[in-house]
């Protein structure tokens, strides 16, 4: 996959970037006016329609990733769907099978819910009770999948006949045979507790289960240069603006995809988050720089209801699509740190803390119920730790 952008230093040039490849270097030498730029660490070609057409013919359109500015320059009448296809082409291309993808096997926790169990009496009762109690769709889905797995494990034995010892054996099965993480095991425990307490109306002491110890891991955090690299590697204006919004406000992915145009208060420089995690409302700041980015995006895309809409149906963007585009941007930015788009939220909180912002304000901005959740970022602030003098320096 090659990336083609308008050069920031000289708009009369296009930069062409691709991983080290001898064959690709031979191909690009067929483009008139091509040059290798040692300062940019990539090839440059004249910014002309002929260069764009030649690159598409040499490398194949399915292997070309164009920046949105290039697409709109030479195809000003292109629809938003066509722009998204050019800026975020499918990878691998249609009809191409990568050997590593053929060997990919989804883990147990990602097995989709079998629809055949949707009519099971336990699943139906669980679904109705959770809807009455106003649980989120994601929690309902997780609990349904957890109890479906337990029903499969139990076989012909009814769930209400399972004892505490039976459930402990089941937990060992999930840990030893299915290799679930402690957080995934906790979902199964919580689903079981909900079933026992809310559906069977049993006493809480009957199903008291020990929770597995959680690993005390630190969140991955980007430095400022890495954040800039991700924005620079994002060829789509829509997704670049979305990533900038996440970093500027610390919103969760579900919150940013469901932002409506009416959630913005330009006079007070505020963004209203409606029904965030835990169905709680909160407000975050709307920075002047972010507002400039949003104005440019809205002027070009003209969303109708949601800030980031599907180009065809004008519905919120699919979270899986956003995650895929983000992963591709991180890959093209050559960042090796593991983490998804939520890492931008971690970076937002850590950078605020490093700049001296009161942790109680950060707690409100992130929507954390407990200050203890926000305090985890105190362990990854680099400015204080890097200033500590090592004993080795005194030798």
Provide the annotated active-site residues: 252, 277, 342, 345, 368, 377
CB contact at 8 A, 18 and 3 = yes
CB contact at 8 A, 192 and 206 = no
Q: Are strands 64-66 and 2-6 parallel, antiparallel or unpaired?
A: parallel
CB contact at 8 A, 381 and 354 = yes
Q: Which residues contact 86 (CB under 8 A, 6 or more apart)?
A: 64, 65, 66, 68, 71, 78
Instruction: Write the Ramachandran bin of 33: left for phi over 0, alpha for psi from -120 to 50, otherwise beta.
Output: left
- The Cα–Cα gap between 1 and 315 comes to 30
Token pair recorded at residue 37: 């730029």
Alpha helices in 99-208 (DSSP H): 99-102, 121-132, 137-154, 164-176, 182-194
Instruction: Write the Ramachandran bin of 368: left for phi over 0, alpha for psi from -120 to 50, otherwise beta.
Output: beta
Residue 41 DSSP code: T
Write phi, then psi, for 197 (nearest 5 degrees). -80, -45
- The Cα–Cα gap between 55 and 64 comes to 8
CA nearest to 76, candidates 370, 394, 319, 300: 300
Alpha helices in 342-381 (DSSP H): 342-354, 359-366, 371-374
The DSSP secondary structure of 276-340, one letter per residue, reads: -TTS--EEEE--HHHHHHHHHHHHHH--SSBSSB-TTT--BPPHHHHHHHHHHHHHHTT------
């Amino acid at each position: 996959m090659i990336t083609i952008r308008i050069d920031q230093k000289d708009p009369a040039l296009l930069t062409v970037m691709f991983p080290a490849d001898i064959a690709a270097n031979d191909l690009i030498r067929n483009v008139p006016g091509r040059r290798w730029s040692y300062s940019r660490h990539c090839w440059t070609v004249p910014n002309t329609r002929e260069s764009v057409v030649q690159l598409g013919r040499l490398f194949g359109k399915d292997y070309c990733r164009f920046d949105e500015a290039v697409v709109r320059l030479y195809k000003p009448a292109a629809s938003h769907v066509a722009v998204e296809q050019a800026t975020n082409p499918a990878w691998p291309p249609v009809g191409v099978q990568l050997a590593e993808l053929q060997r990919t096997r989804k883990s147990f926790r990602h097995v989709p819910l079998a629809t055949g169990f949707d009519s099971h009496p336990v699943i139906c009762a669980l679904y109705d009770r959770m809807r009455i109690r106003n649980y989120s769709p994601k929690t309902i889905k997780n609990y349904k999948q957890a109890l479906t797995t337990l029903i499969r494990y139990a076989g012909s034995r009814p769930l209400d006949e399972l004892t505490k010892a039976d459930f402990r054996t089941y937990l060992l099965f999930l840990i030893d045979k299915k290799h679930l993480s402690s957080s995934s095991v906790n979902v199964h425990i919580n689903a079981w507790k909900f079933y026992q307490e809310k559906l069977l109306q049993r006493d809480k002491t009957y199903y008291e289960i020990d929770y597995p110890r959680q690993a005390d891991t630190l969140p991955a955090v980007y430095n400022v240069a890495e954040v800039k690299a991700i924005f620079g590697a994002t060829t789509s204006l829509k997704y670049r603006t979305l990533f900038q919004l996440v970093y500027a406000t610390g919103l969760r992915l579900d919150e940013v995809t469901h932002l409506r145009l009416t959630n913005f208060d330009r006079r007070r420089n505020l963004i209203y988050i409606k029904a965030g995690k835990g169905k709680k409302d909160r407000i975050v700041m709307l920075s002047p720089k972010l507002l400039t980015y949003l104005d440019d995006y809205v002027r070009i895309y003209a969303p109708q209801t949601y800030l980031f809409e599907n180009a065809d149906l004008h519905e919120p963007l699919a979270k899986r699509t956003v995650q895929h585009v983000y992963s591709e941007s991180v890959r093209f930015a050559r960042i090796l740190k593991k983490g998804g788009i939520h890492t931008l939220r971690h970076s937002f909180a850590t950078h605020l803390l490093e700049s001296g912002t009161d942790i109680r304000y950060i707690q409100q901005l992130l929507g954390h119920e407990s200050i203890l959740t926000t305090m985890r970022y105190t362990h990854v602030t680099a400015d204080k730790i890097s200033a500590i003098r090592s004993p080795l320096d005194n030798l």
